[in-house]
Amino acid sequence: MSDLVVNDVSMVFETPTGEQVHALHDVSFSLKQGELLSILGPSGCGKSTLLNIIAGFLAPTKGTVSLASTELHGPGSDRGMVFQQGALFEWMTVAENIAFGPQMKGTPKAEIDATVNHLLETVGLQDFGDKPIYELSGGMQQRVALARCLANDPDVILMDEPLGALDALTREKMQSLVLKLWKETGKTIILITHSVEEALFLGEKLFVMAPRPGRIKKQYSLPFADAGLTQNPREIKASPDFIKTREEILSMIWEMEEEIMGLAATGTGG
């Protein structure tokens, strides 16, 4: 199976002024095929950096990332990426965007058409295939981004705040869609979010990261994602277990944020 293994990864950025930023320090974890991991943490704790390293856009200063026991160097179509917004190609229609991956590989047209039609239906955009991207709402655009990623059939899907720009209601609908797609496709998913509720609801596993240096502060194994497939999301989010864990994580993040603020305040004051 295609397990994802992150081994001892550190990342030190050097700013133009020669300052060193320890964005990640000795981060290690592994994900089995089909696991859904959500990552939370205060701003600047290295979440995006970690995702970019796994995607292959950044080379870590130390450590390795491997997929199915093969060490990874550089980006590849085995890892799909869903960005917050603006990564769709405006000069293409919805269908052309979704078809992009298979087309680059030279997949036969009939096969591409079948995939695209199937995915359009899966994300509920069957009537929008011929529409240009800029005529779609933000929520619809993110559904296209998901479909485009799935069309390529990657082993791992990496999402960096994919629902961050959406309104609350659209966001909840999209969460259910992500769950559904996760179950149907059996993909390994890593999802970065700033919403504790979203991280709890979607993640089978959840990491809370801490900054300076960026590291995994606490790991959770959660039951809510599985439940979310059958039960009403609103009920799950209102259950005592859910609320208890949510509050625990919230206060942990608050503490970290306060520490950062305090540091910043003394930093500027002194």
Partner 1 sequence: MTFLQTLKMKAGFGTDGLTKRKTVTFGDTSAVADGRMWSILSVFVLSVAWYMGSALELVNPIFWPAPSAVWEQFTYISQEGYRNFSLWEHIWASLYRILVGFALGCLIGIPLGFAMGLSQLMRGWFDPIVEFFRPIPPLAFIPLVIIWSGIGERSKILLLFFAALWIMVIAARAGVGSVKLSKIHAAYSLGATRKQILYYVILPNSLPEIFTGMRVAMGICWGTVVAAELVAAESGVGFMIMAASKFLATDIVVLGVIIVGLIGYAIDILMRKLEAKLIPWKGKA
Ligand X SMILES: Nc1ncnc2c1ncn2[C@@H]1O[C@H](COP(=O)(O)OP(=O)(O)OP(=O)(O)O)[C@@H](O)[C@H]1O
Q: Which residues bind Mg ion (CB under 5 A)?
A: 48
Beta-bridge mates of residue 263: none
Q: Tally the C-alpha atoms within 13 A of residue 262's C-alpha that lie toward its C-beta.
A: 6
Among 9, 41, 6, residue whose Cα is nearest residue 208:
41
CB of 10 vs ligand X, minimal distance in Å: 12
254 near partner 1, judged by CB under 8 A: no
Residue 17 makes contact with ligand X by CB under 6 A:
no
Residues 156 and 89: their CA atoms lie apart, in Å, by 22
Q: How far is the CB of 92 from partner 1 (least distance, A)?
A: 8
Question: Residue 47, interface with ligand X (CB under 6 A)?
Answer: yes
Instruction: For residue 55, state whether it binds partner 1 (rule: CB under 8 A).
Output: yes
CA–CA distances in Å: residue 245 to residues 83, 136, 209, 211, 240: 27, 36, 16, 21, 9
* Shortest Å, Cβ 257 to ligand X: 11
SS3 for 13? strand
Task: Write the DSSP string, 66-113.
Answer: EETTEE--S--TTEEEE-SSS-S-TTSBHHHHHHHHHHHHT--HHHHH
User: Binding segment for ligand X among 47-55, 124-132, 165-173, 250-258 (CB under 6 A)?
Assistant: 47-55
**Smallest distance, Mg ion to C-beta of residue 47, A:** 5
How many CB atoms lie under 10 A from the CB of residue 136?
A: 17
Please state the closest distance from residue 160 (CB atom) to Mg ion, in A.
6
Count CA within 13 A, CB hemisphere, residue 260: 16
User: Of 49, 97, 152, 188, which one interacts with ligand X (CB under 6 A)?
Assistant: 49
C-alpha distances (whole Å) from 42 to each of 133, 134, 208 are 32, 32, 9
Cβ distance to partner 1 smaller for residue 148 or 237: 148
| Site membership for partner 1, residue 59 (CB under 8 A) | no
Shortest gap between Cβ of 231 and partner 1 (angstroms)? 33
CB of 160 to partner 1, least distance (A): 9
The verdict on 25 binding ligand X (CB under 6 A) reads no
Which of the listed partners (partner 1, ligand X, Mg ion, none) does 23 bind, with a CB threshold of 5 to 8 Å by partner kind?
ligand X
77 binds partner 1 (CB under 8 A): yes
237 binds partner 1 (CB under 8 A): no
Q: Which of 27, 45, 65, 199 binds ligand X (CB under 6 A)?
A: 45
Nearer to Mg ion, 48 or 66 (CB): 48
Partner whose footprint covers residue 44, from ligand X, partner 1, Mg ion, none (CB < 5 to 8 Å by kind): ligand X
- What 3-state class would DSSP assign to 51? helix
- Number of Cβ within 10 Å of residue 1's Cβ equals 9
Taking CA atoms, 263 is separated from 24, 53, 216, in Å, by 19, 28, 20
Contact assessment for residue 68 and residue 1, using Cβ atoms and an 8 Å cutoff:
yes
Binding site for ligand X (CB under 6 A): 13, 15, 21, 23, 41, 43-49, 214
